[in-house]
């Protein structure tokens, strides 16, 4: 089958619309909070797609992908400090390339070791390297800055070209959006190249790929290098955005976060990690600002996706698109609306019980077991409150299961009897 061109008419319209969205989106939000949120979404999008180059395209589950992101951020920060000290002359607009180069170099160094094996062995080696680098961040304070990290100032030399200093957040947004768009386009283009195609073959059947003349280890090594490059760009962008880099950027938490973004969004589809990065970033910032129990919600979302939607959000959307094209969606939407009611009840009950549990556990420290859930003041120390939450949870589960059976029944079309008219 002939591979379609990278920029046919349909794809050109899509990428143009995506670019227009990135350009016009800040006009709808003028507050610094929302601009900062959009900046973080752009950074995490590049980071998640770089991870998906390993897992989704090459079949390599890395537990230490934060190494390339974090080291790219630290090298970028030191380059920024050198620019501030006038010992290095380099335009700030291109500084993320410094992080990309660092990620590429460390991808060569660590990838040479990790890609000797695949599967579980690769995952364990990547975990070991990730922990080694994270521990080294506290052992070499001259480079990593110790617990305080390394900081600098991205506004260098007053006004730059066209008066751009990257001091205002809106200017920083457009820098991140520009690099994110170019990185996303480059990673998508890679999937259409022979290297991207053979990486998929190595993921699916490395023995057959080797039989037709390709070296699976070399393919994995090349993909590791490129994934490190784009992760380093994401690290360089986060260094410029926050003007400080700490050891947390190298931690297992950061590696776990990018895994969650890719899985929740959907590793089998290119745009899946983009959706996952947007959702997880919003939850991380918005939900964390609303409740201290936000890690529980993260865990529940990840668990539900793995158990009931292994294709992620992108998989669900693609399934609905197939139903739309076949005309079944028009027949199913009443059942979907009916399932929305128990889903709301179930989500409300889960939030109710999680917040009550958190308030009860921390009542010894706060001196009170009262908590506000969804605008209601509740006492976590009363048994009646727990009974009400448990009943709501049971009702939500029972009704949602009944709605799921109805949807499954509506989708089933019995075959016509044979031999009858």
The percent of the chain in helix, strand and coil, each rounded to the nearest 5, is 75, 5, 20
Map residue 370 onto helix, strand or coil: strand
Same domain flag for 83 and 229: yes
Same domain flag for 377 and 291: no
Same domain flag for 74 and 197: yes
The rounded distance, in Å, linking the Cα atoms of 342 and 346 is 6
Q: Band of the pLDDT at 179, cuts 50, 70, 90?
A: very high
> Is 311 part of a structural domain of the chain?
no
Taking phi first (over 0 means left), then psi (-120 to 50 degrees means alpha), and beta for anything else, what does residue 213 get? left
Q: What is the pLDDT of residues 195-222, one digit of tens each?
A: 999 999 999 998 998 888 899 999 999 9
pTM for the model stands at 0.88
Same domain flag for 261 and 131: yes
**Cβ pair 69, 249 in contact under 8 A:** yes
CA-nearest of 280, 266, 211, 225 to 40 is: 280
> Is 317 part of a structural domain of the chain?
no
What is the pLDDT at residue 127?
94
The pLDDT mean for the chain works out to 86
**Cβ pair 167, 159 in contact under 8 A:** no
Higher pLDDT, 157 or 249: 249
CA-nearest of 57, 49, 43 to 223 is: 57
What is the pLDDT at residue 1?
43
Task: List 378's β-bridge partners, or say none.
Answer: 371
Q: Sort strands 244-245 and 370-373 into parallel, antiparallel or unpaired.
A: unpaired
Q: Residue 354 belongs to what domain range?
A: 327-411
Same domain flag for 15 and 110: yes
**Res 139 pLDDT > 80:** yes
Rounded average pLDDT over 73-79: 95
What is the pLDDT at residue 162?
65
Map residue 245 onto helix, strand or coil: strand
**Cβ pair 115, 224 in contact under 8 A:** yes
Same domain flag for 209 and 116: yes
Q: What is the pLDDT of residues 220-264, one digit of tens each?
A: 999 999 999 999 999 999 999 999 999 999 999 999 999 999 999
Same domain flag for 356 and 270: no
Same domain flag for 238 and 336: no
The rounded distance, in Å, linking the Cα atoms of 95 and 154 is 10
Rounded average pLDDT over 270-294: 87
For residue 52, the domain's CATH number is: 1.10.3470
The rounded distance, in Å, linking the Cα atoms of 351 and 340 is 17
What is the pLDDT at residue 98?
95
The rounded distance, in Å, linking the Cα atoms of 90 and 54 is 31
> Is 421 part of a structural domain of the chain?
no
> Is 318 part of a structural domain of the chain?
no
Counted domains in the chain: 2
The rounded distance, in Å, linking the Cα atoms of 96 and 238 is 9
Range in 10-24, 159-173, 392-406 the model is least confident about: 159-173
């Amino acid at each position: 089958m002939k591979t379609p061109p990278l920029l046919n008419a349909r794809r050109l319209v899509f990428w143009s619309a995506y670019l227009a969205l990135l350009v016009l989106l800040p006009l709808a939000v003028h507050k610094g909070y929302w601009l900062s949120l959009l900046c973080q979404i752009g950074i995490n999008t590049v980071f998640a797609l770089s991870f998906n180059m390993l897992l989704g395209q090459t079949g390599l589950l890395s537990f230490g992908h934060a190494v390339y992101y974090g080291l790219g951020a630290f090298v970028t920060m030191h380059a920024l400090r050198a620019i501030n000290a006038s010992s290095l002359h380099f335009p700030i607009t291109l500084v993320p390339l410094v992080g990309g180069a660092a990620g590429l170099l460390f991808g060569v160094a660590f990838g040479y070791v990790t890609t000797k094996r695949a599967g579980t062995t690769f995952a364990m080696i990547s975990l070991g390297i990730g922990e080694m680098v994270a521990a080294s961040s506290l052992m070499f304070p001259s480079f990593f800055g110790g617990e305080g990290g390394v900081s600098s100032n991205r506004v260098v030399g007053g006004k730059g070209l066209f008066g751009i200093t990257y001091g205002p957040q809106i200017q920083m947004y457009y820098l991140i959006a520009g690099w994110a768009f170019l990185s996303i386009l480059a990673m998508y283009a890679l999937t259409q190249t022979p290297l991207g195609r053979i990486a998929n073959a190595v993921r699916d059947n490395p023995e057959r790929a080797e039989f037709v003349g390709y070296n699976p280890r070399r393919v994995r090594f090349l993909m590791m290098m490129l994934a490190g490059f784009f992760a380093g760009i994401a690290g360089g962008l986060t260094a410029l955005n926050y003007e400080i880099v700490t050891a947390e950027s190298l931690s297992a938490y950061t590696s776990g976060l990018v895994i969650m973004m890719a899985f929740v969004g959907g590793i089998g589809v290119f745009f899946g990690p983009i959706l996952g990065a947007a959702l997880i970033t919003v939850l991380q910032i918005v939900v964390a600002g609303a409740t201290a129990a936000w890690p529980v919600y993260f865990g529940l979302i990840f668990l539900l996706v793995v158990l009931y939607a292994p294709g992620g959000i992108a998989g669900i959307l693609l399934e609905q698109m197939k139903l739309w094209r076949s005309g079944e969606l028009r027949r199913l939407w009443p059942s979907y609306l009916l399932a929305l009611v128990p889903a709301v009840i179930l989500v409300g009950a889960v939030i109710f019980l999680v917040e009550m549990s958190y308030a009860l556990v921390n009542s010894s420290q706060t001196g009170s077991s009262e908590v506000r859930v969804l605008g209601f003041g509740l006492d976590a120390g009363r048994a009646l409150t727990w009974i009400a939450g448990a009943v709501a949870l049971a009702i939500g589960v029972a009704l949602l299961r009944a709605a799921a059976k109805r949807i499954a029944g509506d989708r089933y079309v019995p075959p016509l009897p044979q031999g009858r008219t």
